[in-house]
Structure 1
Amino acid sequence: MIHFVVHEDGDSVGTVVVVDGVKTGDALTGWVMEQDHLIETRSGSDIPVGHKIALKDLNVGDTVIKYGVDIGKVVQPIKAGQHLHVHNVKTKRW
């Protein structure tokens, strides 16, 4: 079962695709679409469908990469497997 998708190697986040989301501690399988391979991780927090999961530890000021593109900066430390959203990532536009 695919729990999250990642656009390409080098992205720092994936997107949860399980309708019920994932729960803390779940063993997860992700599909890296561009290179067509699977990766494994464990959820560090509950994450709803459509929200992002960190694929590696991210520190304050780090750039978040999704689809090979800068989508914002980290404003609170995020561990691999944790939920990324507006509480810990902000746009660089303002």
Structure 2
Amino acid sequence: MTAICFRIHPQDNVATLLSDAPPGDVPVWGGGEATTVRLTEAVELGHKVALADIPAGKTIVKFGVPIGTACRDIARGAWVHLHNCRSNFDTRSSTLDPHSGAATDMKYE
């Protein structure tokens, strides 16, 4: 099956993967235009990918609304997640490991 990502709103600068995808070209559906994005790394089902370069400090837009802020420069085609963005809705999310979801700001003994 060919991987596809979905852009919800024309102003979105991220799209959501509808299946796991390896690096390479992936079609982008929705958001008023058909295009492609070249993934720079493997991205899992349900995760976001940058549709444009997003400089550190700039807003991440999904659903046509700001959902977060880039913590570092994010290249077009890169995975957008806890390692490179901060949520506008959850101040603690930037302390979570992007793969396991475990808190990195606390030690459990």
Please tell me the TM-score bracket, short chain as reference: 0.7 to 0.9
Larger radius of gyration, structure 1 or 2? 2
Partner in structure 1 of residue 57 of structure 2: 61
1:2 deviates by 5.7
Is the 2:3–2:21 contact (alpha carbons within 8 Å) kept by the matching residues of 1?
no
Once the two structures are superposed, the pairs formed by residues 1-94 of structure 1 within 5 Å of their partners are: 1=2, 3-18=4-19, 21-24=20-23, 26-33=24-31, 35=32, 37-93=33-89, 94=91
**Percent identical:** 26
More strand by share: 1
Query: TM-score if structure 2 supplies the norm length?
Result: 0.75
Query: TM-score if structure 1 supplies the norm length?
Result: 0.86
Structure 1 runs of 4+ aligned residues shifted over 2 Å read none
Label 1:23 to 1:2 Cα distance change in 2 as closer, same or farther (>3 A).
closer
- CA deviations on 1:45-69 (whole Å, 9 max, x unpaired) are 1100000000000111000000001
Unaligned runs of 5+ in 2: 92-109
SS of the aligned residue for 1:59 comes to coil
Q: Which has the higher contact order (CA 8 A, sep 6+)?
A: 1
Q: How many matched pairs?
A: 89
